[in-house]
């Protein structure tokens, strides 16, 4: 029976595509107060400022492209004979643009809007603002970015834990291990006797919990990992 692989990615996998990470030197949280733009309280205090923050991040994604790490994971999904689950904390669409078909965005997606009135999600075709109305229920000023903020529950957690517990190998790529519940996946894997591998530029907060840790750029480590996983 071919081993099933559960992959978690974080901002680090998109770093070489030119997308800012959060906690690296010069990262996003050193420039913007996350309490202002990544919490429900911040949004209720100043929704237009939060819209402007995510509108700018959405616009900047138009100028970046997937890197070899994203393409390698798409190849793994296509060619690996066993199950592959890809869960990302990232809200960018670089996995999809590299060809990954089944991506679980546990922190939501920058490309989507969410209506706080009826819960409808829609493609954010243009900048979001309070001036827009929900196309499903017609409520004006009811749209927010479909991004899970601090203190909110991530998406599809039951499915994520089921897949994690069914895996034979847990691979964590490009995440600092600073935020739960994603940061707790390696401990869950360990308790369940699931092998774990960290592929990260530098040791993460939870690096000591992994069976193996390889440190370096994702654009090098991930294609090498996939090549080995696909070797006959």
Residue 4 is encoded by which pair of tokens?
């099933």
Closest CA to 214 of 229, 228, 198, 226: 198
From residue 199 to residue 218, what is the string marking binding to ligand APR with x (rule CB under 6 A)? Answer: -xxx-x------------xx
Contact 115, 137 (CB under 8 A): yes
What 3-state DSSP class applies to 211? coil
Told to check if 64 binds ligand APR by CB under 6 A, we report no
Nearest to ligand APR by Cβ — which residue? 12
DSSP at 3: P
Q: SS3 for 22?
A: coil
Binders of ligand APR among residues 107 to 146 (CB under 6 A) are: 107
User: Does the annotation flag 30 for ligand binding?
Assistant: no
107: annotated active-site residue? yes
Select 33 or 215, whichever has its Cβ closest to ligand NAD: 33
159-to-73, 87, 104, 167, 230 alpha-carbon distances in Å: 20, 10, 9, 12, 26
**23 assigned binding-site residue:** yes
Q: Which of 95, 107, 117, 215 is catalytic?
A: 107
Residues 154-183 contacting ligand APR, CB under 6 A: 174-176, 178-179
- Min dist. Cβ of residue 81 to ligand APR (A): 27
One symbol per residue from 21 to 40: x for binding ligand NAD (CB under 6 A), - otherwise; what is it? Answer: -------------xx--xx-
**Rounded-to-integer distance, Cα 219 and Cα 44, Å:** 38
Q: How far apart are CA 174 and CA 176, in angstroms?
A: 7
Known binding-site residue numbers for substrate: 54, 57
What residues are annotated to the active site?
Answer: 107
Residues that bind ligand APR in the complex, under the rule CB under 6 A: 10-12, 15-16, 21-24, 27, 89, 107, 174-176, 178-179, 200-202, 204, 217-218
């Amino acid at each position: 029976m071919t081993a099933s692989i559960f992959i978690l990615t974080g901002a680090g996998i998109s770093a070489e595509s030119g997308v800012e990470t959060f906690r690296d030197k010069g990262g996003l949280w050193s420039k913007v107060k996350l309490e202002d733009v990544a919490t429900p309280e911040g949004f209720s205090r100043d929704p237009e400022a939060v819209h402007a923050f995510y509108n700018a991040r959405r616009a900047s994604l138009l100028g970046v492209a997937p890197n070899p790490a994203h393409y390698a994971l798409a190849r793994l999904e296509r060619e690996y004979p066993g199950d592959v689950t890809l869960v990302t904390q990232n809200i960018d669409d670089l996995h999809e643009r590299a060809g990954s078909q089944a991506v679980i965005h546990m922190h939501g997606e920058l490309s989507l809007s969410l209506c706080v009135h009826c819960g409808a999600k829609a493609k954010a075709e243009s900048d979001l603002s309070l001036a827009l109305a929900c196309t499903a229920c017609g409520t004006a000023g009811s749209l927010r970015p479909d991004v899970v903020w601090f203190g909110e529950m991530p998406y599809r957690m039951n499915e994520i834990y089921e897949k994690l517990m069914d895996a034979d190998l847990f691979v964590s790529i490009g995440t600092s291990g600073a935020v739960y519940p994603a940061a707790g996946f390696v401990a869950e894997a360990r308790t369940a006797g699931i092998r774990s591998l960290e592929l990260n530029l530098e040791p993460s907060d939870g690096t000591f919990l992994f069976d193996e840790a390889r440190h370096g750029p994702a654009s090098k480590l991930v294609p090498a990992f996939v090549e080995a996983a696909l070797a006959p």
